[in-house]
């Protein structure tokens, strides 16, 4: 197969801009040599083109090329309930979420929505996501089949939930264990797919089911575990009433062996100092879901507090409580939450977070999240002049940081000129690559 040389203004991170003055590499006339879905080389174009005269060149200048965005917390069966009016989390789950997820018992519905879900992700420049399925194994089969057909690096699992929800979405402790294990046998490690053990949250799991989830986590220690933690006050009160022996919310998951560097806690807003210290001690990840947290009025994530304590964080859409599929919109809302907290999220730190930062949170930075040679060629091409308002604003900017901030503040899927998955352009667009 012919090599491809993708040309543009390249930006990739090798360290967190908040930890290091030397955090990124920017190449004004940069090239990525793509061979068999991987980045074979990165460099200045004149030299790279001279060394690879047979490579097919695709020129995206003057656009920026970054690693594809990563969304580490999203619900695949909630694609159709974004923008559903609700007072707060528990109402929203009961009124919209559980009924919508019940429909994923049907394989045809699941297959149609899986394709739509992945197309929406890539249209917004997201090339990898860690997704909750519904409780039905067929939802994960649909998601993984569609991801495999597209060559996408996708993580996901069937939610385990055996109480406090309608019958149509409930499993049992035993069936959730057995169904998860069968899905692991079928999918884990196949191509670019990763199975995630997925107890929904403590409210919808009996102790027996969390024990089953813990048994899976012990049996498959290399697999991620994803769940929800301390999203809102009413949720926390109900949770603690269901697990009266637990010291706090995090302690419930701790007792069942569900913490560790492969564990991803969605939201993680209203935490006690003990919980934060325990997350840091165990390496458990906190995933910020800004548009969701503002939409449901859940609370303001304490990014700096968690970071200072040594907790690794990620940033995600949390579709369908999240209100945008775009990681640009998500960074914008994350920035505003930092503002309300009196914290500073710089543009470089924001774009690091949505790429290498999320890859680190998922433990996948050796494969995705950077433009390093040897990693998978998942890319997003960003156009800071995509709309009339952006183009006018762009006339007045001079630095890379200003351009990134413009993209995050005014950008959405219109600013995504192209998305590459394993070296292949996947965004349907009538623009020519200029
Ligand atoms: N907590 C448990 N399930 C969910 C969910 O689907 N969305 C959100 N935002 N929080 C949850
Ligand atoms: Zn969620």
Question: For the whole model, what pTM was predicted?
Answer: 0.98
Same structural domain, 89 and 50:
no
Residue 430, domain member (yes or no) = no
pLDDT tens, 326-370? Answer: 999 999 999 999 999 999 999 999 999 999 999 999 999 999 999
Residue 133 DSSP label: -
Same structural domain, 391 and 375:
yes
Containing H/E element for 66? strand 56-67
Q: Provide the angle, in degrees to the nearest 10, between the axes of the packed helices 137-150 and 107-123.
A: 40
Same structural domain, 166 and 224:
yes
Residue 431, domain member (yes or no) = no
Same structural domain, 55 and 90:
no
Q: Which ligand is nearest to the CA of 269?
A: 1
Q: Quick one: CA dihedral 235, 260, 263, 357, positive or negative?
A: positive
Separation of alpha carbons 359 and 327, rounded Å: 14
Domain total of the chain: 2
Please identify, among 334, 362, 390, the residue that sits at the C-terminal boundary of a domain: 362
Please identify, among 310, 338, 362, the residue that sits at the C-terminal boundary of a domain: 362
- CA-to-CA separations, 304 to 154, 290, 312, in angstroms, rounded: 29, 14, 11
Same structural domain, 134 and 62:
no
pLDDT tens, 29-52? Answer: 999 999 999 999 999 999 999 999
Mutate to test the pocket of ligand 1, among 321, 322, 323, 330 (most ligand atoms within 8 A of CB): 321
Token representation of residue 316: 């995600």
Ligand 1 binding pocket includes 228 (Cβ within 6 Å): yes
- In this model, does residue 434 exceed pLDDT 60? no
Task: Give me the interface pTM, i.e. the ipTM.
Answer: 0.99
Same structural domain, 289 and 344:
yes
- In this model, does residue 234 exceed pLDDT 60? yes
Q: Is 87 exposed, middle or buried (0-12, 13-18, 19+ CB in 10 A)?
A: exposed
Residue 337, domain member (yes or no) = yes
Same structural domain, 60 and 80:
no
Please identify, among 362, 380, 413, the residue that sits at the C-terminal boundary of a domain: 362
Which residue segment(s) compose the domain that 412 sits in?
A: 4-68+370-425
**C-alpha 391 – ligand 1 centre gap (Å):** 37
Same structural domain, 351 and 378:
no
pLDDT tens, 95-122? Answer: 999 999 999 999 999 999 999 999 999 9
Separation of alpha carbons 362 and 358, rounded Å: 6
- In this model, does residue 89 exceed pLDDT 70? yes
Same structural domain, 41 and 189:
no
Proportion of the chain above pLDDT 70, given as a percent: 99
Separation of alpha carbons 333 and 418, rounded Å: 23
Same structural domain, 106 and 47:
no
Proportion of the chain above pLDDT 90, given as a percent: 97
The domain that contains 391 carries what CATH number?
2.30.40.10
Residue 433, domain member (yes or no) = no
Tally helices (H) and strands (E) across the chain.
17, 17
Q: What pLDDT is recorded for position 430?
A: 58
Q: Which ligand is nearest to the CA of 97?
A: 1
């Amino acid at each position: 197969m012919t090599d491809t040389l993708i040309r543009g203004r390249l930006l990739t991170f090798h360290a967190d801009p908040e930890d290091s003055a030397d955090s990124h590499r920017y190449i004004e006339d940069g090239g990525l040599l793509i061979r068999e879905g991987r980045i074979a080389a990165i460099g200045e174009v004149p030299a790279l083109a001279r060394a690879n005269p047979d490579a097919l060149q695709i020129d995206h200048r003057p656009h920026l090329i970054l690693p594809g965005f990563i969304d580490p917390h999203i619900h695949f069966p909630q694609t159709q309930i974004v923008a559903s009016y609700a007072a707060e989390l528990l109402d929203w789950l009961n009124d919209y979420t559980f009924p919508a997820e019940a429909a994923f018992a049907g394989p045809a519905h699941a297959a149609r929505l899986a394709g739509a879900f992945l197309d929406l992700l890539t249209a917004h420049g997201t090339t990898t996501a860690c997704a909750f399925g519904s409780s039905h194994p067929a939802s994960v089969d649909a998601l993984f089949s569609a991801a495999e057909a597209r060559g996408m690096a996708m993580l996901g699992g069937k939610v385990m939930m055996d109480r406090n929800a309608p019958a149509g979405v409930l499993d049992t402790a035993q069936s959730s264990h057995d169904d998860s294990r069968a899905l692991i046998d079928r999918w884990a490690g196949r191509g670019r797919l990763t199975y995630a053990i997925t107890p929904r949250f403590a409210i919808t799991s009996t102790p027996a089911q969390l024990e089953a989830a813990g048994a899976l986590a012990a049996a498959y220690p290399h697999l991620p575990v994803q769940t929800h933690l301390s999203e809102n006050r009413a949720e926390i009160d109900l949770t603690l009433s269901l697990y009266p022996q637990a010291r706090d919310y995090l302690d419930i998951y701790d007792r069942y062996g569900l913490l560790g560097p492969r564990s991803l806690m969605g939201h993680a807003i209203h935490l006690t100092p003990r919980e934060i210290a325990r997350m840091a001690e165990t390496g458990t990840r906190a995933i910020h879901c800004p548009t969701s947290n503002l939409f449901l009025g859940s609370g303001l994530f304490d990014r700096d507090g968690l970071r200072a304590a040594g907790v690794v964080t990620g940033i995600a859409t949390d579709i369908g409580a999240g209100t945008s599929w775009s990681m640009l919109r998500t960074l914008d809302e994350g920035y505003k939450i930092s503002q309300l907290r009196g914290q500073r999220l710089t543009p470089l730190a924001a774009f690091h977070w949505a790429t290498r930062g999320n890859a680190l949170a998922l433990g996948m930075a050796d494969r995705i999240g950077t433009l390093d040679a040897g990693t998978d060629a998942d890319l997003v091409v960003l156009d800071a002049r995509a709309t009339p308002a952006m183009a006018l604003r762009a006339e007045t900017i001079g630095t890379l940081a200003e351009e990134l901030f413009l993209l995050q503040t005014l950008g959405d899927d219109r600013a995504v000129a192209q998305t590459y998955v394993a070296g292949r352009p996947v965004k349907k667009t009538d623009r020519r690559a200029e």
